[in-house]
Amino acid sequence: PIRVAILISGRGSNMQALAETVAAEDLPVDICTVLSNRADAAGLDWARAHGLHADVLAHREFGSRDAFDAALRARLDALAPDYILLAGFMRVLGADLVRHFEGRIINIHPSLLPVFPGLHTHEQALSQGVQWHGCTVHFVTPELDHGPIIAQGAIPVLDGDTPDTLAARLLPVEHRVYAQVLRWLAQGRVQLLADGRVSVAGAAHRAWAG
Ligand code: GAR
């Protein structure tokens, strides 16, 4: 099996979707840890209740980004994960850490990258008047929310949408897309190409509409 570490900061619904997919489909995936930078992340309780190794590395206890990153690196190195899946992990990882795990850190971001990197993506989508919104699963590079795209999911923007309704309608699409990426990873089908794009062997498409 592949070893994956899942990093969260809060609710953990994407982590839950990943873990449920592994269990329901008996995927060859060993979730070696669910790690949160916040002790109060609700996802930790779910993870523990479902028999997963769940742990906290509180960024507030470190004096600097570099110190936190060094501790995170040590924690992850000890677990030797093949992949580190960011699932609502709200800390920016420094370039040294990203380079150390190059090609092994994957994130889900709630927009159709490369538009709307950063925070408040649903607000940004509404204020720009885009008619399609979505999520992106991508490899993490030192530039925030800019790495090679593995898969995307899209939803239409509806009349009357608010940031909350958009986020709520996108969430199940996030879960589906991230679960599909994990299946591909477990099957060894995801490849990072030299030109900075991604190829997934045998995947006819890597786009979904919800
Ligand atoms: C998800 O919508 C995820 O795409 C987003 O946070 C939410 C976490 O929900 N991630 C980011 O904004 C990353 N910058 P969850 O904890 O229920 O998975």
- The residue assigned the tokens 């992990």 is 89
Indicate if ligand 1 lies below 6 Å from the C-beta of 106.
no
Give the Å distance between the CA of 88 and the centre of ligand 1. 3
| pTM of the full structure | 0.98
Taking the chain, what is the end-to-end CA distance rounded to the nearest angstrom?
30
Q: Which residues are annotated as a binding site for (6R)-10-formyltetrahydrofolate?
A: 65, 107
User: Tokens 């709630």 appear where?
Assistant: 110
Whether 133 is catalytic is: no
- Ligand 1: atom nearest CA of 17 is 18
According to the model, what pLDDT value does residue 77 have? 98
Give me ligand 1 centre to Cα 86, in Å: 9
Q: What local confidence, expressed as pLDDT, does residue 79 receive?
A: 98
- The answer to whether the CB of 44 is under 6 A from ligand 1 is no
Distance 31 CA to ligand 1 centre (A): 19
pLDDT, mean of each 10-residue run, the chain (210 residues): 98 98 98 98 98 97 96 98 98 97 98 98 98 98 96 98 98 98 98 96 96
User: What is the atom index within ligand 1 of the atom nearest the CA of 174?
Assistant: 4
Quote the pLDDT of residue 134.
98
Dihedral sign, Cα of residue 141, residue 146, residue 92, residue 179: negative
Question: Helix %, strand %, coil % for the chain, to 5?
Answer: 35, 25, 40
Minimum CA distance residue for ligand 1 atom 2: 110
Whether the complex's predicted ipTM is more than 0.90 is answered with yes
Question: At residue 96, what are phi and psi to the nearest 5 degrees?
Answer: -65, -45
Q: What is the pLDDT of residue 39?
A: 97
What is the structure's pLDDT at 35? 98
